[in-house]
Amino acid sequence: MSARIVQITDLHLMADPLAELKGVCTRTNLNVVLDVLRRDFGSVERLIVTGDLAHDELQETYEVLRELLSDWLPKLRLIPGNHENRAFMRQVFGDRLAEVDDRNVFADVIGGWRLIGLDSQLPGEVRGHLGESQRDWLARELAAEPFQPTAVFLHHPPLKVGTGWLDEIGLEDAERLLELLWRSPQVKFVCCGHIHHEMTVAQANVLLLTTPSTSVQFLPETERLIPDSVPPGFRIFDLEPDGSFRTRVVRVPIVTETLP
């Protein structure tokens, strides 16, 4: 039987409910996205959040987020982005993730698939880094079930996305991760956030999927950060036991009230 999961990313939530990022109220956007998820996709089996949960990196913000996601908690899995406080994230969401050498990760099984979440945060930097210890953990996880279809989630894309300024703040030890993935054909896709727009990139046997933010969107193929006017969104996966899958991005228009 197939399993349906949903990924959201780059929430950039702040303790101030009216706070904006590049002109976007991140709390409002997230609430609208969650309303659509509850209405149309409430039966999904996992909700995976791939980083940049708390833009202000405050414990209060993680507590607010836990309340916003309270009805999803049994299905919830999270990993950090570059805007994160690992300790606060672990304190508030410790029951929704695992710790490997001070990294916030997860390893899960659903519908015959393995779901693995990696921590690519490099504290104090926008770019990402996995490190040898975490790659060794991933290698052991993959070796344990070499024939089970697997999806890997992390914040920073390990492949170039064709936008120069974003590629400069990607995963700095990507080649080491790719070497491992090239030897692991059971990994059917890698799914990331960080770039705030939808992309599909393939290299050798690695399929990279990126997902729009629930907050502000970035215009692709630019020399600098330019906000895009397209709506926020999330990604749906339907995972089949034979290792095949279907995926699509769902956009969520944000209706703003205008004064008469």
**Angle, to 10 degrees, between the axis of helix 174-182 and the axis of helix 132-144?**
10
Give CATH for domain 3-251. Answer: 3.60.21.10
**DSSP string covering the chain, please?**
--EEEEEE----B-SSTT-EETTEEHHHHHHHHHHHHHHHHTT-SEEEEES--BTT--HHHHHHHHHHTGGGGGGEEEE--SS--HHHHHHHHGGGSEEETTEEEEEEEETTEEEEE---B-TT-SSB---HHHHHHHHHHHHHSTTS-EEEE-SS-SS--S-HHHHTTSBTTHHHHHHHHHT-TTEEEEEE-SSSS-EEEEETTEEEEE---SS-EE-SS-SS--EE-SPPEEEEEEE-TTS-EEEEEEE-PPPPP---
Q: Is residue 254 scored above 50 in pLDDT?
A: yes
Q: Is residue 255 scored above 80 in pLDDT?
A: no
Question: How far is 40 from 138, CA to CA, in rounded Å?
Answer: 33
1 confidence band (pLDDT: 50, 70, 90): confident
Q: Which long-range contacts (CB under 8 A, 24 or more apart) does 70-75 make?
A: 71/38, 72/47, 75/44, 75/45, 75/46, 75/47
Cα radius of gyration (the chain): 17
pLDDT at 89: 98
Q: What is the pLDDT of residues 89-102, one digit of tens each?
A: 999 999 999 999 99
Q: What is the pLDDT of residues 13-25, one digit of tens each?
A: 999 999 999 999 9
66 phi/psi in degrees, rounded to 5: -60, -40
* All residues at 6 or more sequence positions from 44 whose CB lies less than 8 Å from its CB, including other chains: 4, 5, 6, 37, 75, 236
Q: What is the pLDDT of residues 46-75, one digit of tens each?
A: 999 999 999 999 999 999 999 999 999 999
pLDDT at 259: 40
Q: Where are the domains of the chain?
A: 3-251
pLDDT at 165: 96
* All residues at 6 or more sequence positions from 259 whose CB lies less than 8 Å from its CB, including other chains: none
pLDDT at 71: 95
Q: What is the pLDDT of residues 112-121, one digit of tens each?
A: 999 999 999 9
pLDDT at 213: 98
Q: 107 pairs with which residues across the strands?
A: 116
218 phi/psi in degrees, rounded to 5: -105, 135
Give pTM, 2 decimals.
0.96
pLDDT at 256: 64
